[in-house]
Amino acid sequence: MALQDRPLKGGKNELPDTLKVAEGARVMLTRNIDIQNGLVNGAFGKLLRVVYSENDQHIIKLGLKMDNETSGKNNRTPADDMVYIERAEENLKQKGVVRRQFPVKLAFACTIHKVQGMTTTSAVVSLKSIFEPGMAYVAVSRVTSLSGLYLLDMEEKKIFTNPEITAALENMRQANLDDMMPLLHVIQTLSRLKHQSVL
């Protein structure tokens, strides 16, 4: 394979050209490493150790402490309870070009899209760049309690739903408990039978 005469810049969907991190940095995985073990694209952690090779001081591994206690459980080392990840290899669009890079990026902040499905005890949420219906709801509903939510750039008009969904909800028939399966009657009958059997 011929060497490129100058470094080739990759696209947005490819591994980054350079990676600047330091021990203590908050990072996010950018590739699925072990799906069944929770080491997936979007998993958060803290970089605690950079491992160098003994002979040429080349970085060979990154030691991460994952936010989710179950993530990487099968990949952790017993001595320090960290997950060690190695470089990932990716073929770029240009024929014959391969990039090797650690599949992480800094994650002191994340987009709303990236944190969908995540649960956390606290979060600082900026509503400045909301542009779709339901985005504000997704952002603020990541926290487990209201006391852990800190809002920045609060504008009420940024919190809105899809007009079609609102119209559909307004057209739905109201449910009447009398029309539903008589769950309450079943419970009363069972409790009466139980009471009779005791006597």
Q: If pLDDT is split at 50, 70 and 90, which confidence band does 7 have? A: low
Top pLDDT among 4 and 72 is at: 72
Q: How much is the pLDDT for 197?
A: 52
Which residues are CB-neighbours of 33 under 8 A, at least 6 positions away? Answer: 39, 40, 85, 88, 103
DSSP letter (8 states) at residue 92: -
Query: For 177, which DSSP code?
Result: G
Backbone angles phi, psi at 147, to 5 degrees: -65, -20
Helix (H) / strand (E) element for 98: namely strand 98-101
DSSP structural state of residue 166: H
Q: Could you report the per-residue pLDDT of 88-135, keeping only the tens digit for each? A: 887 776 667 777 888 898 888 888 888 887 788 888 999 888 888 889
Give 45's strand partners: 27, 66
All structural domains of the chain with their residue ranges: 1-14+21-108, 111-171
- 54-65 per-position pLDDT tens digit: 887 788 899 999
Q: Which of 35-39, 147-151, 178-182 has the lowest mean pLDDT?
A: 178-182
What would the two tokens of residue 19 be? 């990676």
Q: Is 176 left (phi over 0), alpha (psi -120 to 50) or beta?
A: beta
Residue 63: its pLDDT value, please? 92
Mean pLDDT in residue range 28-54 = 89
As a whole number, mean pLDDT of residues 148-164 equals: 89
User: Using CA atoms, how far apart are residues 141 and 123, in angstroms rounded to an integer?
Assistant: 10
The set of residues, in sequence order, having a beta carbon less than 8 Å from that of 187 and lying 6+ positions away, is none
Task: Report, as an integer, the average pLDDT of 65-71.
Answer: 85
